[in-house]
Chains A and B, each alone.
Chain A
């Protein structure tokens, strides 16, 4: 079944958890024992409604403080699709979680409180969705019940948001506006009877209608080798299979491929998935390839089609989102992990740090702090084989690993 991953973002108290709870409840995805637990907890807290946020906030601290700290993954399905929601917290200090959630998502829901309208957080959420090139964005204007289901409130917010959208440089992005009340279920799964002036579809109807071609970008064939399979069995004595996941494009037996960084060429002899061999395979499949010639291929190498070479770079310029408490400064060393390829690197220059409010303002402090997004030049000890993030998402991003702490300290998007 088709799987659609959605990132949700909103500020504290926008009712994001309630919206997700409502989606689960109205799609019949909450089982009776979970509903009972929610009812008990809601009563214990003295609420006179079902607090659906209790369905999603998983950690003790989250329930105690009534906030979401970490990305949570929530699953539900309809007859048409399986949905995975990456629920990301909206606090200022948690930009890194938002980027993380968005990195695996094909669509995003941005939540706005109808009483507050477009606020600084909204800018940031939309900025991140643009940076990560999320193709389908749904702006859910929530708490319409608290503004009397007033059309003019919705239209005002829509106008303000459209002004943001006009200043975004991502033309292929589609933005849809839906007025909702998560608490009462208006326009979440069922269309609202309170807002006859709204003629669009409900939130779920919109998601159901998304085709995978709507949310995925076309890209060229990239195959980063994970491991070499050499069975120590008599019947497969000389078998050397290159295991990896196809990212972008497709591959057919007989295609001429170039192995990077050696630039040796060969032809695809066979494409295996488990114990079956296929004539062709497409993006997203974890296959094992054999080549016609015996050439040297190791983990981290990349197979591409000979007539579709990526950039081979020893210095890379990227937009970096910084996720570590220790700020990024020029001259320091990090490990760049690009797909399965890890190379040592040195930060050569930190350029402009972007304001995430679409003002176009930048500052240059020469460093990049936690949750800041800026332009960084990185020198690499060995070349990486990249595309711009714009032309191939999965081959245009890398992570930066701190050698001293081993933590994932940042993510870069190749220009």
Chain B
């Protein structure tokens, strides 16, 4: 009923904290380093190196689109999940630790409304920081290298013109943002279950790491396709020469299943849990 008001208050809290912007600063620093590295070590980043000796590549391959693609490749593996886990992991546990959850929940508002508003706010942060990664890498890449084609060499070779390349990256970043929302939901669930925001954030990363390790263990081969971390990098399908929409759809469905289950657990626990501190 008061979801709008609760969401406005969550966003107001989230974006009035300096800590929220630390993630954006880190992302900007990473993009800066990536752009600087690409500029001063262009030889190492030549597409020809990736394609092997059978190909002769002429023209400019390092462009704004290349930087945006590389930024996605580099940041989505660890950095972005860590940033999302830290911020979203504190949304409930942080308020519980500081006592403000107590103040909040004496108000005539459903606990489910409070939690859903935090969930949406967390997802807005995840989307914002992911889009910031894409936009800042495009902007810095454009300033240093200018516009140009997007060369994709995984699963074949594709050279996309600036417009098609931008569209492909937009799809990729959209999927990456969705994946980071799924990480945010995991962090929020752990934030409901644990009192300490650092525990919630740390466990989020631990779950991702363990799930990622299981992926590479031969004994778990049969469950590999269903793992959270197997389906999380669905955005990578957009960085291949041709987009495998079927694999994206399957991954999206699995993630939706995980997200639904985690939201239900979080809602169930949050609605019943005693506020003792």
Chains A and B are bound partners? no
A positions within 8 Å CB-CB of B: none
B positions within 8 Å CB-CB of A: none
